[in-house]
Amino acid sequence: MLMGEVIVVTSGKGGVGKTTTTANLGAGLASLGSRVCLIDADIGLRNLDVVMGLENRIVYDLVDVTSGNCPFRKALIKDKRFENLYLLPAAQTKDKTAVSPDQMRALCQEIKNEYDYVIVDCPAGIEQGFRNAIAGANQAVVVTTPEVSAVRDADRIIGLLEKEDLREPKLIVNRYRYHMVRHGDMMSIDDIIEILAIDLLGVVPEDEMVVVSTNRGEMVVTNNQSRSGQAYRNIVRRIKGENVPMMDLEEGGFMRKLRRMIGLK
């Protein structure tokens, strides 16, 4: 019997990249051979399915499972592109109160017997949706962008996670723009880490390829040309326990092209 990790991906603030992160970590872990089940806990605002391109295959959802209408195995959608990747979609027509923390805890307990990783995509906010999403988790990833409001919410979330005994959550800084940091117009990774006092799991650069991939229902982690894909692949290996150095954030953009053009790399 497997005893998988249940990782909740959370942020406080909406729109910072939780769903994108969940999809890419799932695809990345699955492509390295792990058995992965993703749970969309954003009840009423289902969107992990569209980000993954699986929206047309939904029959049952999370609430069908927690309310006992169908066993979880029957509700899982198998991603055909990745051998070991499954999605349990959120209910779209219900609201957050349709699930309780106890139900989520029991569900995660059941699923993690059969998967290496269960990754829960958390809704924004700190209300019941958040409480449900973290209930069954034994690890937490906090996503933020380098903005005052997002980091502030991340700080609040870290406090709440620690209260719920999810100690030592790990941070992903998303939509990092190196040239802005260099020009003194964006907080740096060091600034953010210093303020939040939390371990860094990875940095994902701002990258149009995220949007392009998402438009197609694909995950950028499988795109070998993209820098955000590389960032996600590194994060995936760190989750699997490998010691992967932080990628050179300086690369990318105009200067890299210039250096390549004049043969400096």
Ligand X SMILES: Nc1ncnc2c1ncn2[C@@H]1O[C@H](COP(=O)(O)OP(=O)(O)O)[C@@H](O)[C@H]1O
Q: Which stretch binds Mg ion (CB under 5 A): 19-27, 166-174, 183-191, 196-204?
A: 19-27
| Dihedral over Cα of 234, 224, 54, 81: its sign | negative
- CA 258 to chain centroid: 33
**Phi, psi (deg, nearest 5) at residue 94:** -105, 180
Contact stretch for Mg ion (CB under 5 A) within 15-23, 97-105, 191-199, 222-230: 15-23
For residue 86 the two structure tokens come to: 């499954």
Contact 214, 51 (CB under 8 A): yes
Binders of another protein in range 148-167 (CB under 8 A): 148, 151-152, 155-156, 159
- Compute the distance between CA of residue 16 and CA of residue 204 in angstroms, rounded to an integer: 11
Taking phi over 0 as left and psi of -120 to 50 as alpha, with beta for the rest, 201 belongs to: alpha
- Beta pairing, strands 170-176 & 5-10: unpaired
Site mask for ligand X (CB under 6 A), range 228-247, x = bound = x-------------------
Q: Is 174 in the site for Mg ion (CB under 5 A)?
A: no
Binding test (CB under 6 A) with ligand X, winner from 14, 44, 101, 217: 14
Closer residue to another protein in complex, CB, 152/170: 152
Least distance in Å: CB of 70 to ligand X? 26
Binding footprint of another protein on the chain (CB under 8 A): 147-148, 151-152, 155-156, 159, 181-188, 191, 195
- Residues lying near ligand X in the complex (CB under 6 A): 11, 14-20, 174-175, 204, 206-207, 210-211, 214, 228
